[in-house]
Amino acid sequence: MQLKLKIWRQDGPDAPGRFETYDAVDIKPDMSFLEMLDLVNNRLVESGDEPITFDSDCREGICGTCGVMIDGQAHGPWKGAATCQLHMRAFRDGDTIVVEPWQAAGFPIIKDLMVNRSAFDAIVSSGGFISADTGAAPDANEIPIPKPVSDSAMDAAACIGCGACVAACPNSAAQLFTSAKLAHLNLLPQGQAERFKRTEAMVETMEQFFGSCTNHGECHEACPKEVPLDFIAMMNRDYLKSKLKNRKLAGQVFP
Which pLDDT score, from 0 to 100, does residue 160 have?
A: 97
Residue 253 has pLDDT above 60, yes or no: no
State yes or no: pLDDT of 144 exceeds 90. Answer: no
pLDDT tens digits along 156-197 = 999 999 999 999 999 999 999 999 999 999 999 989 989 999
216-232 average pLDDT score: 96
CATH superfamily of 117-249: Alpha-helical ferredoxin (1.10.1060.10)
**Contact between residue 7 and residue 112 where contact means Cβ atoms under 8 Å apart:** yes
At 251, the pLDDT band (50, 70, 90 cuts) reads: low
What integer pLDDT is reported at residue 131 of this predicted model? 86
Q: At 198, is the pLDDT very low, low, confident or very high (cuts 50, 70, 90)?
A: very high
Q: Which amino acid is at 210?
A: F
Q: Is 145 exposed, middle or buried (0-12, 13-18, 19+ CB in 10 A)?
A: middle
Residue 39, judged by CB atoms within 10 A of its CB (0-12, 13-18, 19+), counts as middle
User: Which stretch of 6-10, 34-38, 118-122, 239-243 has the lowest confidence by average pLDDT?
Assistant: 239-243
Task: Please tell me if the domain spanning 3-111 has the same topology as the one spanning 117-249.
Answer: no
Instruction: Give 46's contacts (C-beta < 8 A, 6+ positions apart).
Output: none
Return left, alpha or beta for 173; rule: phi > 0 is left, psi -120 to 50 is alpha, else beta.
Answer: beta
Domain ranges in the chain? 3-111, 117-249
| Nearest C-alpha neighbor of 106 from the set 178, 32, 188 | 178
pLDDT at 171: 96
Superfamily of domain 3-111: Beta-grasp domain (3.10.20.30)
DSSP the chain: --EEEEEEEESSTTSPEEEEEEEE-S--TTSBHHHHHHHHHHHHHHTTPPPPP---SSSSSSS-TT--EETTEET-SSTT--GGG-BGGGS-TT-EEEEE----TTS-EEETTEE--HHHHHHHHTT-S------SPPPTTSS---HHHHHHHHHHHT-----HHHHHSTT-B-HHHHHHHHHHHHTSGGGSTTHHHHHHHHHHHHTTTSB---S--HHHHH-TT---THHHHHHHHHHHHHHHHHHHHTTPPP-
Q: Is the pLDDT of residue 90 over 70?
A: yes
Which residues, in sequence order, are bridge partners of residue 109? Answer: 115
How high is the mean pLDDT of the chain?
Answer: 93
Mean pLDDT of 130-150: 81
93-131 pLDDT, tens digit per residue, is 999 999 999 999 999 999 999 999 999 999 999 999 988
